[in-house]
């Protein structure tokens, strides 16, 4: 693709994505997930949503790539299918790390982390980290609780962004990256808020502590 990966632009240090482009990228990947989860006629879980798997075309339209770990799921199954743990630390939902059961919810979690990278310009974890807790989510949630979301905005933007969109994106992505999968939105619900067709979710001021919650299946 003409413009390389999202990871390259966020962390490669050579270019700076403007805010309107970042918001368009986040919404574009949400649209891709909506197609996989609800509109393709099949139920597909990607399992490896991360900034290096988001490719940009010449107009900076986002494309979701690398389907090597994707799995076709059975929508009628009452229990999530055990697929075996695969993906990238920092983007994997805590219940997926624990059980190896990939779901739409685990994709939504990964999307939430990836979109926080877009807003904050930070990676979710340190390169050597391996575990279910995601420091980026905890850091942003703390700023949300302190009503200082502007503090987490990517400094390279130099405050040149739409504050309403920035707050919307960050709050929606915290919702998507909620450690309790039962309290995450569907990707359709997330898109409705991102397009300002639904109100912002009411999240707790402190991040919930149940990163290893009990499996409810």
Whole-Å CA distances, 24 to 58, 77, 87, 130: 14, 34, 25, 30
Show the beta-strand stretches assigned E in 74-113.
none
Tokens representing residue 121 in the block: 């310009």
Instruction: Supply the pTM of this predicted model.
Output: 0.86
Residue pair 141/63 in contact (Cβ under 8 Å)? The answer is no
The count of other CB atoms within 10 Å of the CB of residue 18 is 12
- Domains of the chain listed by start with CATH number: 6-73+80-194 (1.10.510.10)
DSSP-derived 3-state class of residue 191: helix
Higher pLDDT, 65 or 57: 57
What is the average pLDDT value for the chain, to the nearest integer?
83
Q: One of 4, 7, 48, 215 is an active-site residue; which one?
A: 48
Sign of CA dihedral 10, 94, 126, 167: positive
Show the beta-strand stretches assigned E in the chain.
43-45, 54-56, 62-64, 71-73
Percent of the chain past pLDDT 70, that is, above it, reads 80
The phi and psi torsions of 167 (rounded to 5 degrees) equal -65, -40
Give per-residue pLDDT as tens, 152-179: 999 999 999 999 999 999 999 999 999 9
Tokens representing residue 192 in the block: 């409705």
Higher pLDDT, 68 or 180: 180
Give per-residue pLDDT as tens, 30-41: 999 998 888 777
User: Could you confirm whether 48 is annotated as catalytic?
Assistant: yes
The dihedral formed by the CA atoms of 113, 115, 116 and 122, expressed in degrees to the nearest 10: 90
Residue pair 80/120 in contact (Cβ under 8 Å)? The answer is no
What CA–CA distance (Å, rounded) separates 94 from 88? 12
CA angle centred on 184, ends 77 and 132, rounded to 5°: 90
Sign of CA dihedral 55, 31, 197, 147: negative
CA-based R_g, the chain, Å: 16
> What pLDDT sits at residue 24?
96
Given its phi and psi angles, is residue 159 left (phi above 0), alpha (psi -120 to 50 degrees) or beta? left
């Amino acid at each position: 693709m003409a413009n390389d990966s999202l990871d390259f632009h966020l962390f490669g240090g050579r270019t700076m994505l403007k805010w309107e482009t970042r918001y368009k990228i986040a919404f574009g990947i949400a649209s891709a997930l909506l197609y996989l989860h609800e509109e393709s006629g099949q139920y597909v879980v990607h399992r490896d949503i991360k900034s290096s798997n988001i490719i940009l075309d010449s107009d900076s339209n986002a494309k979701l790539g690398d389907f090597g770990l994707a799995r076709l799921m059975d929508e009628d199954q009452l229990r999530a299918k055990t697929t075996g743990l695969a993906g990238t630390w920092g983007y994997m939902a805590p219940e997926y790390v624990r059980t190896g059961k990939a779901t739409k919810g685990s994709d939504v979690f990964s999307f939430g982390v990836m979109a926080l990278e877009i807003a904050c310009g930070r990676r979710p974890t340190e390169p050597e980290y391996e575990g279910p807790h995601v420091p980026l989510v905890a850091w942003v949630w703390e700023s949300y609780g302190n009503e200082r979301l502007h503090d987490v905005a990517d400094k390279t933007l130099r405050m040149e962004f739409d504050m309403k969109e920035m707050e919307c994106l960050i709050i929606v992505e915290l919702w998507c990256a909620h450690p309790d999968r039962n309290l995450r939105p569907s990707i359709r619900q997330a898109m409705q808020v991102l397009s300002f067709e639904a109100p912002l979710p009411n999240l707790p001021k402190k991040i919930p502590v149940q990163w290893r919650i009990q499996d409810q299946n």
